[in-house]
Amino acid sequence: MMEGNSREKGEASSVSEETLAAPWPHQLNHNYANWLQIQDTLKKKLILEDDFDWKLPTPTEEEHVLLKYVGGVDISFSKHSNSIACGCLVVLELPSLQIEYQDFSLLTLQVPYVPSFLAFREAPVLLQLLEKLKNNAMPFYPQLLMVDGNGLLHPRGFGLACHLGVLADLPTIGIGKSLHHVDGLTQFGVRQLLEAKENSTEDFTTLTGCSGCTWGVAMRSTLGSMKPIFISIGHRISLDTAVKIVKLTCKYRMPEPVRQADIRSRDYLRKHQMETSEGCKRPSQV
């Protein structure tokens, strides 16, 4: 397994607070107007169909054209402060789901959380991890990125997965743990749809809103589970292909790329805070 080679093993990349805070205005009302404009501009660049040169793994396809490296990203936050965070990028190899690369970024976020604008808080951290991997000329740069967050299934139709996909120019899939109440969709309604399919071979239901728009899919990723995950297009991929790839990468409820990014970011943050706490307790030496 490769780790980011510009740091020692186990050491997170350092990102200055000034770097992450600089592009964003300080006053929230100014932020809001600016973010709306940025979202609308980026949304025009969305590609909602398959736009890549690889194919899904099958026995008949040549290895050099197959989807081989799938990335996963997530950010975990400290229990003591909702601004202390650890971003994580992992890259898994298909079909083994072995982790080939991981990297971390430990930092204090200056951008506040605002509903519907999560990307402006988290995307800069994750983009820097991707850029670092690309600049280091690693062979493991992902052909596809899975994001622990929504894509089209979002109040403004442009969640974190869309934002990252457009800026990184990567095929991207959004994986949500809970449902945004968009276009008349509700948790209760989705549960009813899944219960109606309990005895069928289908393990997912399409999320079509009152407007007739398809926002994504609710899928039972483990046998007998009634707690679905919510899959939506991020960028440069169709919903059908996104569902196929999620099925290829699920061992548990969440697909392995985002599951591993979540586990490892939380573990890294916990270890760092333990070391910091122990360091504070040690007597100073003269």
137-157 pLDDT per residue, tens: 789 999 999 999 999 999 999
Classify domain 16-276 at the CATH topology level. Answer: archaeoglobus fulgidus dsm 4304 fold (3.30.2170)
**Has residue 171 got a pLDDT over 50?**
yes
282: Cα within 13 Å, side-chain hemisphere = 9
- The mean pLDDT value for 255-273 works out to 95
Q: How many helices (H) and strands (E) does the chain have?
A: 7, 10
Q: Which residue has the higher pLDDT, 143 or 180?
A: 143
- Taking the C-alpha atoms of residue 246 and residue 138, their distance in angstroms, rounded to an integer, is 24
Q: Which residue has the higher pLDDT, 202 or 136?
A: 136
What DSSP character marks residue 65? G
In this prediction, residue 193 carries a pLDDT of 85
204: Cα within 13 Å, side-chain hemisphere = 19
pLDDT digits (tens, 9 = 90+) for 71-109: 999 999 998 888 899 999 999 999 999 999 999 999 999
Q: Which residue has the higher pLDDT, 92 or 192?
A: 92
Instruction: Specify whether the backbone of 169 is left (phi greater than 0), alpha (psi in -120 to 50) or beta.
Output: left
Apex 107 CA angle, 109 and 93, nearest 5: 110
In this prediction, residue 3 carries a pLDDT of 63
In this prediction, residue 204 carries a pLDDT of 85
**Has residue 280 got a pLDDT over 70?**
no
Q: What is each CA distance from 217 to 73, 150, 286, in whole angstroms?
A: 20, 11, 62
**Has residue 199 got a pLDDT over 50?**
yes
172 contacts 70 by C-beta, under 8 angstroms: no
